C-alpha cells in the first residue's frame, strides 16, 4: 500500500522554496561575440556575455561577486564599437573583457578568432609566469589551479625567460590558519577585494610598489620597515585578528598563494570525492562541498547558492569538521553495569533502554531533550516518539536560555511560517533592526549578506544591544545602547513621537515598507522583549524574523519538539490538531496540556519527580548552569543518551546509543528562513541517524513508529502537512524590572562568539588560534566606577566562581560588563553559572593576564 | 557513379599456381631429412637456456622491475609526496600521503615529504609511467622482478620497503638540509654529501644513530630492510632453493 502524499491541510510541512523571479522588463543590450549575436542585461560585463555563449576567456582577477578591477590583464580581447559616425571602429588596444560593460552594437573578438587577442593573452601569461615558481608538485592548488590550466590553454609551451625568479621566505602566516606563499602570487587582488568588499576585515592588502609589490598583512619585519605596529584586535594566537571569513580567500585564490594550514599538503584534487552538503554549525544553511578521501573528510569548500550563502562560507563551517571523526566517537551501544558503561549489542542495548523507559514511565514519566543540532527528520522522530511511545509533551529541543514567553512566541510567530522572511526579503529591506542578535557571531553568512546591501547603500541598520560589536561596527549599525534585560523597554520606546532622536529615527526606518526586525534566540533571556518585538512589528508594519543559532532549531520547531507544539506548528491544546496527527500516526492519546519546558524538565529530574530522560545532542554547558544540569542527570532514574561522541551526558547515561554525525547520514536542516536544506550522506558509516535509532527503540517498546528510513519520514511529513487552524495567541509579557546594580557590580552582557570552546570545533587547533582573544568590555563610566583601566585585569565573580579577564574600555551601555559566553578561557556558564542580564561582582584583579 | 564489379563465379576463377620456386632434383631427394640440419647446426652454437631460478636471471639494464625511492647524497629523501606518480599510474597502484617537514623532522629538502608511500604490486603493471612523472627523480625502477607471494599484504610495499639504503657520505634523515641551501640546490645536484653540521645535528638529537658510524655496517643498520621486503626476500630465496639453486 502506498501512502497518500497529499498534505492534509493543503500546505506541505516544509515547502520547497520558489525559484527566483527574473525581471523580464530590465533593459538589455545586443552585441556580438566572435560573430555570435547575443542579448544581455544592461551592465553585463563582456566576459560574462561571452560565458553565456559558452566562449571561455582566460582570467584570474575576475570574480562574479567582486567588483571588476582589471588587475591581471589575462582576459584581453579585441573590441569594436560603433563610433560617433555610427561605423564600427576598433579600440586601438586590446581591452580587458572583465572590466568592460557591453554596449549596443559592440563586436567582441576573443582569442578564438582574433590573433591580436590571442597574442596579447600569450604575452600576459608569459609575464605572469616570469616570476611564478615551478613548484606545482608541492603546491596545494596543483591539479585544480586556474593558472596551471590556463598556462596550458593560453600560454607558451616553453619559457623564454631564463633568469632567476622572485624568491621570498615561505610561507608567511597571515593567521594561524591562512598561509601565504608570496612568490606564487599573481597580484590578481581577489583576496584583498574580498576583504574589502565582502568581509570588511582588511587582514591582507597590497603593499610595496613595482616589482616588489606583494599581498600581505602589515608585517614590519617582512616589509623591512623599522619599528613595531600595535596589534589592534588580537587573536588567540597572539597575532592580529584576521577574519571569520578568511577561508574564502584561500578558495578564491586562482593560484596557490593562499593555502590553509589545515589542508596544506594533505591531499590532491584527484584523490578527493566530493559530496555536496550543508553547514551544520549555524542556522544559515550554507551550501558546501565535503571533499573526502578514503572515508576521511579532508576539507570543506563553499558551495554556490546565490539565494543563501552566495559563494561564501564562515571559517567555522569550512574548517570545523574534525569533531565528527574525533577519538571520542561512540562506536557501539553501551549499557551501564555496576556503574561502568560496557559495550553491548544493539539488541541488548535497545532491550535495556526499553525496559528502563517503560519502568520510568510508571515512575513519573519520561522527558525528552533532543538538542538543537538535530535534522528535521530526527526532530520529527523525537517529537513522535515522545507523544506516541512515551505519552508525554515533556519535550524541548532548546538547550539554552529559554522562557515561557519564548515558547509562546515560537508557537505564535515562528512555527508554520516558512519562507515568510527570507534572505530575499532581508536583503531588500531598507532598514533592519537587530535585537538580541549578532549577525557576524551568530549568523555568519547573514552578516555578509547584510554588508553587501549596506555597502550598496540600499540598507541602514540599527542594533539594540549593550555594545556595538566588531561586526555591527563594520555594518555601520546605529547602536541603541541597551543593558541586558531592558530590551522590552527600548523596543516599546520605538515610536515616531519618541523624545530620543535615535528611537524616533528607528521608528521612521521601520515604517518604510519592507523593513525587517531580526530577533535572536538570546532575546528569550530578556523578559517581555519578544512580546515587545511582536508589538513593534505590528505597530510599524515591519516583518519579524527569528534567527536561532543552531542548525536544527528551526526544523525542530516545525517538527514539534516543543512542549506546546505538535509537528507543523499545531498547538497541543487544539483537539483538531490531535485529530490531524492521529490520522497519520494512528490512534494516539490526545495530550491537551502543554508539557514542561527544558528548565522544568531538569528541575523535575533533580527533584526525582521524573522517571527518566531521553537526551540527544545536548551539552550541559549549553544551559545556564551546567553543574545543576549534571546533578539533574545524576538524579534522574533512567537516562538514555543518543550521542555521536562521549560527553558529560553519556558519562551519566544508563544506556548510550551511538548516532551518526552529519557527514555520515542524510537529512535536512531547516534554516532560520524555514528553507529546507537537504544533504546527502558523504561517508559510508555503520552508524544510523537518530530517527532510525528511535524507530528501533520504539519497536523494542512495542510501538511501530514507521520512521526507519528517510523516505518513510518524508512520506509521513508530506502526509501530515502544515497547520491551517488557529494559532497560539501572541505572547504578552510585561517588561521585567531593570536590575539594581550595587557598587562594585555590573550587569552581565554576553553572547557566544563564532569561534569558541564549542565541541563542534574540537580537533581543529589552527582554527581555534584564529579566534578573538578574550576581553571584557566596559564603558568608560563603568570602568571609572569599578576602578578598572584599559588593558588591566578584572575579576568577575559570582557566588559560584570567578574569572580573570583583561579589560577593554569601549563606548557602550553603562553599568554593563560584556564577556564572551564560551571562550576557552572564559566559560561564563561553567564558572559563573549566570546568564546575560544577571548581576555579577567586578573588581580589579592583581593576577597577571596573558599579554 | 560506377557499378561495383561483380565477383567472379568459381568456374570463372583461374587455376591455383604455387609461388614457391620448384626444387631441383638433389634438393627434392634430401627434402625429407633437411630439418635435421637445423638441429645439427645448433649443436655447434652457444647455449641460450636461462638457468633461472637455479641461477639469477639476466635482465636488460633498463628492465622495469620493482620501484625504488632514492636519496640525495646527504641522505635526505628525494620524494616530496607530490602524488604525481599516483596520478600518472594507469593501474591505480600507488597511494601517497604527504606531510610537512618541520625543523625537528626534516625528511626531504623543502617543505613537503611523502609520509605514506605504498605500491600495490597486485595492481602494478610495471609500465614506468610513475617514474616518468616523478619531478625529482625520487622514484626509479630496479631490475628486481621477483614479486610473487602467497598473501595480499605481502605485495603491498610500504615506504620503508621501497626506500633505498644509505650510501657512503649519507646520514639517516630526519636531519636539516645542508646549511645555506634551498631545495633548488638539491635538484641541481649541488649537494655532494652530508656536512659536518648535519652530522653534528644528528649526533645531538639521535646520539645512537648507527649512520653516524660511516662504515657499511653502520649505514645498513641505520636503515633496516622493510618487513614486507624482507619477507619477499625470504619467499624468493625459498623458491630458488626449491628450483634447485646451487
Checking if the pLDDT of A601 tops 90, the result is yes
Cα separations in angstroms, B116 against A262, A681, B159, B161: 18, 28, 6, 12
| Mean pLDDT across A66-74 | 95
Q: What ipTM, to 2 d.p.?
A: 0.85
The whole-number pLDDT of residue A1 equals: 36
Q: How far apart are CA A461 and CA A514, in angstroms?
A: 13
Judge: A267–B111 Cβ closer than 8 Å, yes or no.
no
Q: State pLDDT tens for residues A746-761.
A: 999 999 999 999 999 9
Q: State pLDDT tens for residues B88-97.
A: 999 999 999 9
Judge: A268–B87 Cβ closer than 8 Å, yes or no.
yes
Closest partner CB to A137 (pick from B84, B97, B99): B84
Q: Which residues of B touch A270 (CB under 8 A)?
A: 83, 87
pTM, 2 dp = 0.91
The shortest C-alpha distance from A266 to chain B (Å) reads 6
Is B53 within a domain? no
Mean residue pLDDT of chain A comes to: 93
Mutation for A interface: B112, B115, B118, most A CBs within 10 A: B112
Place of cell 548552569: A625
Checking if the pLDDT of A7 tops 60, the result is no
Cα separations in angstroms, A458 against A461, A514, A515, A632: 10, 12, 12, 50
Checking if the pLDDT of A470 tops 50, the result is yes
CATH number, residue B76: 3.30.70.3270
Q: State pLDDT tens for residues A675-704.
A: 999 999 999 999 999 999 999 999 999 999
Is B8 within a domain? no
Judge: A170–B111 Cβ closer than 8 Å, yes or no.
yes
Q: ∠ CA A328-A371-A367 to the nearest 5 degrees?
A: 110
Is B204 within a domain? yes
Q: State pLDDT tens for residues A179-235.
A: 999 999 999 999 999 999 999 988 898 988 888 888 988 776 666 665 555 556 777
pLDDT band at A9 (very low <50, low <70, confident <90, very high): low
Per residue, the 3-state secondary structure of A598-620, as one string, reads HHHHHHHHHCCCCCEEEECCCCH
The whole-number pLDDT of residue B3 equals: 62
The shortest C-alpha distance from A137 to chain B (Å) reads 5
The whole-number pLDDT of residue A4 equals: 42
Judge: A137–B97 Cβ closer than 8 Å, yes or no.
no
Q: Which domain holds residue B182?
A: 67-245
Beta strands A431-435; A516-520: pairing state: parallel
| A791 φ, ψ (degrees, to nearest 5) | 90, -20
The whole-number pLDDT of residue A5 equals: 45
Is B6 within a domain? no
Q: Which of A616, A601, A598, A638 is nearest to A694 (CA)?
A: A616
Q: State pLDDT tens for residues A131-173.
A: 999 899 999 999 999 999 999 999 988 888 888 888 888 888 8
| Contact between A68 and A77 (Cβ < 8 Å) | no
Q: Which of residues 93-132 of B touch A (CB under 8 A)?
A: 97-100, 110-112
Is B1 within a domain? no
The whole-number pLDDT of residue A229 equals: 56
Q: Is B83 part of the contact surface with chain A (CB cutoff 8 Å)?
A: yes
The whole-number pLDDT of residue A571 equals: 96
Query: Which residues are paired to A399 by β-bridges?
Result: none
Q: Which residues of B touch A271 (CB under 8 A)?
A: 83, 86
Q: Is A364 part of the contact surface with chain B (CB cutoff 8 Å)?
A: no
Domain count of the fold of chain B: 1
Q: Which residues contact A686 (CB under 8 A, 6 or more apart)?
A: A331
The whole-number pLDDT of residue B112 equals: 95
Q: State pLDDT tens for residues A92-118.
A: 999 999 999 999 999 999 999 999 999
Q: Count of A–B CB contacts within 8 Å?
A: 36
Is B61 within a domain? no
Q: How far apart are CA B66 and CA B43, in angstroms?
A: 37
Q: Is A166 part of the contact surface with chain B (CB cutoff 8 Å)?
A: no
Is B120 within a domain? yes
The whole-number pLDDT of residue B4 equals: 61
| Mean pLDDT across A588-592 | 92
Is B74 within a domain? yes
The whole-number pLDDT of residue A23 equals: 74
Residues of chain B with pLDDT under 50: 1
Amino acid at each position: 500500500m502506498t501512502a497518500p502524499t497529499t498534505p492534509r491541510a493543503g500546505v506541505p510541512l516544509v515547502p520547497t522554496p520558489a525559484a527566483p523571479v527574473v525581471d523580464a522588463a530590465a533593459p538589455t543590450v545586443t552585441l556580438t561575440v566572435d560573430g555570435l549575436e547575443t542579448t544581455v542585461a544592461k551592465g553585463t560585463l563582456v566576459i560574462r556575455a561571452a560565458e553565456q555563449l559558452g566562449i571561455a576567456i582566460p582570467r584570474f582577477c575576475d570574480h562574479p561577486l567582486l567588483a571588476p578591477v582589471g588587475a591581471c590583464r589575462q582576459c584581453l580581447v579585441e573590441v569594436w564599437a560603433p563610433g560617433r559616425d555610427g561605423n564600427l571602429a576598433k579600440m586601438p588596444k586590446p581591452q580587458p573583457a572583465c572590466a568592460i560593460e557591453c554596449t549596443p552594437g559592440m563586436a567582441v573578438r576573443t582569442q578564438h578568432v582574433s590573433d591580436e587577442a590571442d597574442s596579447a593573452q600569450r604575452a600576459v601569461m608569459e609575464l605572469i609566469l616570469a616570476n611564478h615558481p615551478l613548484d606545482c608538485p608541492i603546491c596545494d592548488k596543483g591539479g585544480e589551479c586556474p593558472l596551471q590550466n590556463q598556462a596550458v590553454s593560453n600560454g607558451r609551451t616553453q619559457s623564454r625567460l631564463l633568469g632567476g625568479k622572485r624568491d621570498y621566505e615561505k610561507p608567511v602566516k597571515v593567521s594561524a590558519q591562512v598561509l601565504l606563499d608570496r612568490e606564487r602570487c599573481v597580484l590578481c587582488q581577489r583576496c584583498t577585494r574580498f576583504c574589502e568588499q565582502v568581509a570588511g576585515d582588511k587582514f591582507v592588502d597590497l603593499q610595496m610598489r613595482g616589482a616588489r609589490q606583494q599581498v600581505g598583512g602589515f608585517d614590519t619585519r617582512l616589509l623591512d620597515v623599522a619599528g613595531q605596529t600595535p596589534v589592534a584586535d588580537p587573536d588567540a594566537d597572539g597575532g592580529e585578528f584576521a577574519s571569520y571569513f578568511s577561508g574564502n580567500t584561500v578558495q578564491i585564490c586562482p593560484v596557490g598563494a593562499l593555502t590553509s594550514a589545515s589542508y596544506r599538503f594533505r591531499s590532491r584534487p584527484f584523490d578527493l570525492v566530493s559530496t555536496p552538503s550543508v553547514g551544520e554549525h549555524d542556522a544559515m544553511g550554507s551550501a558546501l562541498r565535503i571533499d573526502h578521501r578514503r572515508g576521511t573528510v579532508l576539507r570543506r569548500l563553499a558551495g554556490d547558492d546565490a539565494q543563501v550563502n552566495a559563494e561564501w562560507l564562515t571559517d567555522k563551517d569550512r574548517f570545523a569538521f574534525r569533531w565528527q571523526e574525533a577519538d571520542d566517537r561512540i562506536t557501539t551501544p553501551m549499557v551501564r553495569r555496576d556503574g561502568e558503561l560496557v559495550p553491548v549489542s544493539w539488541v541488548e542495548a535497545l532491550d535495556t533502554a526499553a525496559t528502563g523507559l517503560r519502568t520510568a514511565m510508571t515512575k513519573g514519566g519520561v522527558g525528552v531533550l533532543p538538542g538543537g543540532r538535530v535534522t528535521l527528520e530526527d526532530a520529527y522522530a523525537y517529537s513522535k516518539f515522545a507523544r506516541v511511545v512515551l505519552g508525554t509533551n515533556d519535550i524541548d529541543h532548546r538547550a539554552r536560555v529559554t522562557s515561557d514567553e519564548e515558547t509562546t512566541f515560537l508557537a505564535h510567530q515562528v512555527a508554520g511560517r516558512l519562507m515568510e522572511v527570507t534572505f530575499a526579503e532581508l536583503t531588500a529591506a531598507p532598514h533592519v533592526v537587530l535585537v538580541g542578535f549578532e549577525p557576524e557571531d551568530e549568523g555568519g553568512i547573514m552578516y555578509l549578506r547584510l554588508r553587501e546591501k549596506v555597502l550598496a547603500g540600499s540598507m541602514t541598520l540599527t542594533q539594540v544591544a549593550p555594545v556595538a560589536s566588531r561586526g555591527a561596527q563594520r555594518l555601520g549599525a546605529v547602536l541603541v545602547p541597551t543593558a541586558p534585560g531592558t530590551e522590552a523597554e527600548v523596543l516599546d520606546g520605538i515610536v515616531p513621537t519618541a523624545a530620543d532622536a535615535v528611537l524616533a529615527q528607528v521608528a521612521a526606518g521601520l515604517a518604510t515598507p519592507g523593513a525587517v526586525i531580526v530577533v535572536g534566540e538570546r532575546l528569550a533571556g530578556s523578559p517581555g522583549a519578544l512580546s515587545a518585538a511582536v508589538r513593534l512589528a505590528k505597530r510599524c508594519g515591519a516583518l519579524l524574523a527569528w534567527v536561532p543559532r543552531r542548525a536544527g532549531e528551526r526544523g525542530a520547531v516545525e517538527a514539534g519538539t516543543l512542549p506546546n507544539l505538535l509537528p507543523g506548528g499545531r498547538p497541543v491544546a487544539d483537539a483538531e490538531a490531535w485529530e490531524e496527527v492521529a490520522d497519520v500516526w494512528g490512534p494516539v492519546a490526545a495530550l491537551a496540556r502543554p508539557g514542561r519546558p527544558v528548565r522544568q524538565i531538569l528541575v523535575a529530574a533533580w527533584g526525582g519527580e521524573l522517571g527518566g530522560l531521553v537526551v540527544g545532542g545536548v551539552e550541559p554547558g549549553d544551559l545556564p548552569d551546567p553543574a545543576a544540569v549534571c546533578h539533574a542527570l545524576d538524579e534522574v532514574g533512567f537516562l538514555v543518551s543518543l550521542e555521536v561522541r562521549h560527553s558529560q551526558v553519556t558519562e551519566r547515561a544508563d544506556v548510550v546509543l551511538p548516532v551518526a554525525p552529519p557527514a555520515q547520514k542524510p537529512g535536512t536542516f531547516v534554516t532560520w528562513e524555514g528553507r529546507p536544506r537537504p544533504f546527502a550522506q558523504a561517508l559510508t558509516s555503520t552508524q544510523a541517524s537518530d530517527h532510525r535509532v528511535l524507530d528501533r527503540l520504539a519497536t523494542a517498546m512495542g510501538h511501530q513508529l514507521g520512521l526507519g528510513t528517510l523516505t518513510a519520514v518524508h512520506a509521513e511529513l508530506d502526509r501530515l502537512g502544515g497547520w491551517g487552524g488557529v494559532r497560539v495567541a501572541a505572547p504578552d509579557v510585561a517588561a521585567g524590572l531593570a536590575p539594581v546594580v550595587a557598587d562594585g557590580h555590573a550587569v552581565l552582557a554576553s553572547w557566544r562568539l563564532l569561534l569558541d570552546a564549542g565541541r563542534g570545533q574540537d580537533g581543529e587547533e589552527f582554527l581555534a588560534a584564529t579566534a578573538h582573544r578574550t576581553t571584557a568590555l566596559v564603558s568608560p563610566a563603568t570602568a571609572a566606577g569599578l576602578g578598572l583601566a584599559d588593558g588591566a585585569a578584572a575579576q568577575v565573580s559570582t557566588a559560584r566562581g570567578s574569572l580573570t579577564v583583561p579589560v577593554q574600555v569601549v563606548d557602550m551601555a553603562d553599568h554593563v560588563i560584556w564577556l564572551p559566553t564560551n571562550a576557552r578561557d572564559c566559560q561564563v556558564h561553567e564558572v559563573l553559572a549566570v546568564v546575560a542580564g544577571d548581576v555579577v561582582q567586578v573588581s580589579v584583579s592583581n593576577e597577571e593576564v596573558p599579554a | 557513379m560506377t557499378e561495383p564489379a561483380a565477383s567472379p563465379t568459381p568456374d570463372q576463377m583461374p587455376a591455383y599456381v604455387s609461388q614457391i620456386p620448384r626444387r631441383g632434383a638433389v634438393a627434392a631427394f634430401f627434402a625429407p631429412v633437411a630439418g635435421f640440419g637445423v638441429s645439427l647446426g645448433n649443436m655447434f652454437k652457444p647455449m641460450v637456456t636461462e638457468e633461472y631460478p637455479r641461477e639469477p636471471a639476466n635482465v636488460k639494464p633498463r628492465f622495469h622491475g620493482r620501484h625504488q625511492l632514492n636519496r640525495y647524497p646527504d641522505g635526505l629523501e628525494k620524494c616530496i609526496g607530490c602524488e604525481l606518480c599516483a596520478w600518472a599510474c594507469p593501474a591505480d597502484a600507488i597511494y601517497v600521503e604527504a606531510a610537512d617537514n618541520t625543523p625537528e623532522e626534516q625528511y626531504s629538502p623543502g617543505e613537503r615529504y611523502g609520509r605514506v608511500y605504498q605500491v600495490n604490486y597486485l595492481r602494478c603493471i610495471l609500465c614506468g609511467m610513475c617514474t616518468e612523472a616523478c619531478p625529482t627523480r625520487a622514484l626509479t625502477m630496479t631490475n628486481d622482478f621477483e614479486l610473487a607471494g602467497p598473501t595480499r599484504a605481502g605485495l603491498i610495499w610500504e615506504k620503508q620497503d621501497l626506500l633505498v639504503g644509505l650510501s657512503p657520505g649519507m646520514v639517516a634523515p630526519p636531519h636539516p638540509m645542508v646549511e645555506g641551501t634551498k631545495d633548488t640546490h638539491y635538484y641541481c645536484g649541488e649537494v655532494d654529501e652530508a656536512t659536518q653540521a648535519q652530522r653534528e645535528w644528528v649526533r645531538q638529537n639521535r646520539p645512537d644513530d648507527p649512520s653516524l658510524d660511516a662504515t657499511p655496517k653502520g649505514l645498513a643498520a641505520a636503515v633496516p630492510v622493510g618487513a614486507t621486503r624482507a619477507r619477499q626476500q625470504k619467499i624468493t630465496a625459498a623458491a630458488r632453493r626449491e628450483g634447485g639453486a646451487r
